[in-house]
Amino acid sequence: MNELMVTTYSMWSQFRNCRKACDYRYLQGLSPVSKDANLSFGALIHECLELWHRERDLAKVLDHIDRAYPNRVQDEEQKKNWHLATAMMKGYAACYAEEKFHVIALEKGFKGRIINPSTGGVFPQFYYSGKGGWDSSH
């Protein structure tokens, strides 16, 4: 193996839960035809939180939710998710209108080598990668 293999928390979590599913997804590159509805909703909420922390403009956040569910009048699932996302973000904005910390980055990409904590040795064929958010308290 000449190239370093990118690993993520998601990959190792999948490996822990089902090695065959991990093999299909991460080694063979196979993925479901459609995205899981819960993952799609979670991704939308992450986008909304990023927008909220960047601009503190609830109207923009709610507009983002509206655009995510364009058929909410006809589609019951979209309607349900639109109501839930709207309520969650209105509640979040009301509860956390003022923060006691300053956001430095949201969904910032990172990567690093995997090191054996016992020996300090670096795994030569792997590195980890992911996204996260950091803040600093004031």
Q: pLDDT digits over 117-128, tens only?
A: 999 998 888 888
Q: Are residues 73 and 86 in the same domain?
A: yes
Question: How far is 62 from 53, CA to CA, in rounded Å?
Answer: 14
Q: Are residues 42 and 90 in the same domain?
A: yes
Neighbours of 65 (CB within 10 A): 23
Give the global pTM. Answer: 0.66
Question: How far is 37 from 44, CA to CA, in rounded Å?
Answer: 11
Q: Are residues 21 and 46 in the same domain?
A: no
Highest mean pLDDT among 4-8, 28-32, 73-77, 132-136: 73-77
Asked whether the predicted pLDDT for residue 48 surpasses 70, the reply is yes
Q: Are residues 78 and 92 in the same domain?
A: yes
**Number of domains within the chain:** 2
Q: Are residues 57 and 77 in the same domain?
A: yes
Q: Are residues 25 and 71 in the same domain?
A: no
